Amino acid sequence: MLLYLARRLLMMVPLLLGITLISFVVIHLAPGEPTDLQTELNPEASVELKQRLRSQYDLDKPLLTQYGLWLSRLARLDFGNSFSQDRRPVAGKIAERLPVTIAINVLSIVLILLVATPIGVLSAVKRNSLFDRATTIFVFVGFAMPSFWLALLLMDFLGARLGIFPISGIKSLGFDYLSPAAQVWDVVHHLILPVLVSSFGGLAGFSRYMRSNMLDVIRQDYILTARAKGLSERTVIYRHALRNALLPVITILGLSVPGLIGGSVIFETIFAIPGMGKLFFDSVMMRDYPVIMGVLVMGAVLTLAGNLIADVSYALADPRIRNN
């Protein structure tokens, strides 16, 4: 198992380097530079000023040289300083925003597991029933509905019209004056809509995948044997069938991490949540290259870590994989 884990860790290094190289090149090839925002709106900005700014940001150097300088800082775990007015370290900005994004994504994954698993199991057990047909409609709606459109609908109906949930931020204006219990509830109250939006598409896909796995498992011979022994249907389904149907789901959970992180950009921007997604969106608009690369690296690391956890979990469940 340690050898399998070591091989997987070594494979992550070239993958991470490839991701950073491609991202760095694409970002710098995009139209516009950080200096444009500082000089174009200033009528007194001269060409010499723009050149000095480009030199200050190392933008006057060849692209591969810029990447080499950035990579050398990354090797020291230094993401550099932001190009924005505050010139703050990128690591500090990410450290402020990362817990919010991780908390929302973890809550979304937990909600997906708690809701989609029983839906998929019941759909498989009650195949072609009214419940199965209703969940099929739910799946099609979940796949077809864009998350940003669902977010706007919920904000308008549950937030603006009914006033049940707040529609922006994660804290109320008087947050500092609330009691500790009230502060916790205030944060939870603000996160309900974002978590629902973040998990809606995953609920649809995961429940359908769970249904497919259960249908394959309950047709196996050992399920027929368990029923022939006189075991109750509940024991057969939840003790024998479900445990085996969950094994392929481990891989799906690992692969779902990139989608959740990428989706953070959408709902964090819509709900004005100060997370990594909102930081990434603002940085792209400002052409803040160090922050963009810092967020992309953190997203890549989390994605690779999620896939590694999925591979290791699957290897623990199936010894044949780690012996290959």
pLDDT of residue 69: 86
d(CA 105, CA 202): 11
pLDDT of residue 8: 76
147-154 vs 247-270: helix crossing angle, rounded to 10: 60
Let me know: does 70 contact 80? Beta carbons within 8 Å: yes
d(CA 17, CA 38): 31
Radius of gyration in angstroms for the set of CA atoms belonging to the chain, rounded to a whole number: 24
Strands (E), 162-287: none
Cβ density class 105-132: b for 16+ within 10 Å, e for less: bebbbebbbeebbebbbbbbbeeeeeeb
> Residue 172: which of 190, 158, 198, 145 has the closest Cα?
190
d(CA 58, CA 107): 40
pLDDT in tens, the chain (324 residues): 677 677 777 888 888 888 888 888 888 887 777 776 666 666 666 677 677 777 777 777 888 888 888 888 888 888 888 887 778 888 888 888 888 888 888 888 888 888 888 888 888 888 888 888 888 887 788 777 887 888 888 888 888 888 888 888 888 888 888 888 888 888 888 888 888 888 887 787 788 888 888 888 888 887 788 788 887 877 878 777 777 777 666 666 666 666 656 667 887 888 888 888 888 888 888 888 888 888 888 888 877 877 777 777 666 655 555 555
pLDDT of residue 87: 80
